[in-house]
Amino acid sequence: MISDPKDIALISIETVPDGLQPLGLVRGSTARSRNIGRDITAGLKNLVGGEVTSYTKLMADAREEAIYRMQEDALRMGATMVVGIRFASSMVSQGISEMVAWGTAVGPSDELR
């Protein structure tokens, strides 16, 4: 029995592996805001070009949080893995972005329980 959300396997395949059954859609999301220091740095970086590393880190942290919340959702359903994982981001409001992760929770088939 899995008790830690981080133990839920994450797989990008499109099919449910043999011996497992789909349990339903799982998802996780987070909304993050920028801060004035990052905005000033990003504005300067925009003048000269290049990667805005503070935003890269912000989005990476948001992805990890969305994944963890998706794993928590899968754990509540009794899943052992999530397949067909997808990500999306959107601007919720000026300066606030949402990161969403979703997939299909799968667990042992009834014969294996």
The Cα–Cα gap between 86 and 48 comes to 33
Q: Is the pLDDT of residue 58 over 80?
A: yes
pTM given for the model: 0.83
**Average of pLDDT values for 84-106?**
92
* Domain CATH code at residue 34: 3.30.110.70
Q: Which domain holds residue 54?
A: 5-112
CB atoms within 10 A of CB 37: 9
**Total number of domains in the chain:** 1
